[in-house]
Every structure is written in C-alpha cells, then in structure tokens.
Amino acid sequence: MHPQRKKRLQLILFMVVAIGAAVGLLMYSLSENVNLFQTPTQIANGEVPVGRTIRAGGLVVVGSLKRDDTGLAVTFQVTDGAATVPIHYEGILPDLFREGQGIVALGKLDESGTLQASEVLAKHDEKYMPPEVKHALDQAHEDGKAAMQNPASSN
Amino acid sequence: MWQWLVRLYHRLGSPKWFYELTGKWIIWLALLSGVGMLVGVVMGLLFAPADYQQGDSFRIIYIHVPAAIIAQSGYMIMAVSGAIFLIWRMKMAAWVARAVAPLGASFCLIALFTGAIWGKPTWGTWWVWDARLTSMLILLFLYFGVMALQRAIESEDASHKAGAILSLVGLVNIPIIKYSVDWWNTLHQPATLKLTERPPMHPDMLIPLLIMIVATYLLFALLVILRTRNEILWHERKRSWIQELPEVAARIKGGQR
C-alpha cells in the first residue's frame, strides 16, 4: 500500500478506536444514569432517595393486584425475584398491564417504602407467538408439573 | 480471490463502469423489492396470527424492524465509504456516502415514527428516554449532521472530508444501539432476531418479517444506486461518455439540458 494511504488508514483506525474507548469509558461511568429504571433490589438496598422522582421496574407479583372499589386507584407489588416494592397508582393502566407482566412505574418513594406512581408503562418481551401456541405451551407446562409431582399416576 | 477483489475495487472507482453495470440492475431490484414487499405485507397483515400479548398491534414490526436495520446498515455503509474516500481519495466513495445519507436518515425516521406508534398501545407511551430510543434518536441527528457537513463547505472535497470524519466519529453509536437493550434497563425489549440463536418468534410470524427485511434491503440498494447515478451524471456531465449516453444524447439533440 502507498505509504501515505497507509498512514491515513492508520490514523482513521486510531481515531475510531480512540473514540470508541472514550465513549466506552463515558458510558461505563454513566451506566447507572443510563438505566431507565431501578430494580426492586436497588430500592430495598436503599440506593434510591426517598421523595425523589424515580422509575421502578420489575414483574407484577401474581395475586398482588388490588383495585379500589370506587376509583381508579390500584396497588400492586413489583419484584425482580430478590426483592419486592409496593406501588400505588391512580389512573388508567396500559392494555398490556397484567399480573406476571413487566412494568415500569414513575413516581416517588414515600416514608413507608411504597412507590406513589404517576405513570405506569408496560414492558413486553421479545417473544412473539399466536395465543393458541401460548395456551398449548402453558398446558404442557402444567401437565409436566403435574407429572413431576405424582409420577405414579402419570403412567 | 484477493486479486479479484482488488480488480473489483478499482473498477468500482470508475463512474462509467458503475453507471453501466447498475443500469442493468435497476429493473430487477425494483421488481424483486416490489414483489417481496407485496408478499411480505400480505403475509404479515393478513396471514400471520395475532400475538398472544399484543394482539394485532405487533404487526407494525413488519415496517419497524426492517427500517431500523436499514438505518443502521446505511450508516455503516456511509461511514465505510467515507473512510475509503479519506484514505484512497476515491470520489465514487464520496458520492455513495452522499447518496446514502438522506436515505438512511429517512429509514431512521420511519423506525422512530413506527416505534412511537407501536409504543402507545403496548407500553402506554409514545416516547421514553431509554437507552435504545435515545441512541436511535442520536443516529438520526448524526445523519442530519453528516448531511449538513457534506454540503456545508464551498470546496466539495473539503465538504466530503468533513462529512466522512463525522460519520466515522458517529460509528461508535452503532454498537451502542445494538447492545443498549442488553447493557442497560430499558423499556424496549431485547432483540428477537439474533445470528446465534433461533428467534423466539412463531414461524408464521417470522417468515413475513424475514421477507420484509430482504425486500427493504433491495429497496434500499435500488434507491442508493439511483441516487449515486444522479451524482455521477451531475459530476461527470461535461465528460464525453455522459454526453454520448443514448438517454442524454437524445435530450441534447432536442435542445433540453
């Protein structure tokens, strides 16, 4: 290769690598701030200040959803498997909100440790399938569980 | 093989060769991408089953995902062309970079727009400042910056260099977009399509998506080729081979310029 071109190639490669490293370090140091939401574990560990607006994200605990009889208020718990955070919200929930589903709630922690949410967003996963397949999968899962519990009756 | 690549590379540097070669491709690219899109859209909208969670609103994936993939591929093509121009001073590369920029920006805009439309019924919001959405918005601004620089300076050569350097600086954003959903907590879900794993998507939904991705790539190739040919016609307009082209000669004869 022509020496001048080689020099330019090296310069460009160096530039791209240097910028990559700089931005990489920047992102690494910012990583906590780039996260959209805090996990229940982080909240339980006291990493989140009381009274400041934060986002909390996790899975809605199955069986934890309680609706107010008169208004739109709901309370539910959100978990990441290790810790749970209670959330209180007044408003219309997104269509995809349901127990077991991932959600992100924007709000402030009160003294009792409940997140008083002003906005609840639903997450959805990267899996796509028709309802019948989902139903069949769930059914197979249930059957499998039943077979594990009483192996004698399954034969 | 290497020899062949070097020869191809030198040929690609020739505007005349590129113009003549791609002239034969236009019709095929148009036909294939048109048929592909028609098949993909009909399969995706009419025959693919509804999703167990999202119902019919997931179907916007057939525009959203191809547009987002092209926006990122287009950026990489633009940056590599810019590097080739900076290193080897090949003007064809600069013209390709200039042809790609507004097209990539358009696909990026389509991805952001369809994403917002998809977000409202599923997440409950049009927009959220999570890492994936924000890095994609930065991609759009990078495209705008490159487009501006490619035309900002009086000297065309300097303009191309400035655009190429910004596009190389912005290249760092591409892996950030790709891995944003893995590195940080985001509202956007992780990638469905991965090279190493079987996608967690039912085949009846997946096949139209793959068809749409291929068809959109063909459309993008067609548009890039058409725009590059325009750049060639403009920059080489005083050359005899252009004036001897049948389509140009007829116009000169007819008094149109």
Percent with pLDDT over 90 in chain B: 77
| pLDDT for the residue A139 | 86
Task: Look at A27 and B176 and tell me if their CB atoms are within 8 Å.
Answer: yes
Flag whether residue A15 sits within 8 Å of chain B, measured between CB atoms: yes
Inter-chain residue contact A128 with B202, CB threshold 8 Å: yes
Task: Kindly state whether B73 is in contact with chain A, defined as any CB-CB distance less than 8 angstroms.
Answer: no
- Rounded to an integer, the average pLDDT of B72-97 is 95
> Distance, in angstroms, between B11 CA and closest chain A CA?
18
Q: Which residues of B touch A19 (CB under 8 A)?
A: 169, 171-172
pLDDT at B140: 97
Find chain A residues with C-beta within 8 A of B131's C-beta: 34-36
Q: Is A7 on the interface with B (CB under 8 A)?
A: no
A28 assigned ligand-binding residue: no
Give the max Cα distance, chain B: 64
A124 annotated among ligand-binding-site residues: yes
C-beta separation of A99 from A62 below 8 A: yes
**B232, B17 Cβ separation under 8 angstroms:** no
Determine whether the interchain pair B123/A9 forms a contact, defined as Cβ–Cβ distance below 8 Å: no
| pTM, entire model | 0.89
Residue B120: per-residue pLDDT:
92
> Looking at the complex, does the CB of residue B10 fall below 8 Å from at least one CB of chain A?
no
- Dump pLDDT digits (tens) for B125-135: 999 999 999 99
Question: Which residue did the predictor score with more confidence, A4 or B117?
Answer: B117
Q: Which residue has the tokens 């190493």?
A: B196
User: Which residues in chain B touch residue A129, judged by CB atoms under 8 angstroms apart?
Assistant: 51-52, 200-202, 205
What does each C-alpha distance from A86 to A57, A112, B50 come to in angstroms? Answer: 11, 10, 33
Nearest to A81 by CA among A37, A109, A39: A39
CB-count burial class (<10 Å; 0-12, 13-18, 19+) for A122: buried
Token pair of B61 as six digits: 């994936």
Residue of B nearest to A20 (CA): B172
Per-residue confidence at B19, pLDDT binned at 50, 70, 90?
very high
**Nearest C-alpha neighbor of A85 from the set A37, A36, A40:** A40
What are the backbone angles phi and psi of residue B180, rounded to the nearest 5°?
A: -55, -40
pLDDT of residue A151: 61
pLDDT-derived band at A154, boundaries 50, 70, 90: very low
8 Å CB contact of B187 and A104: yes
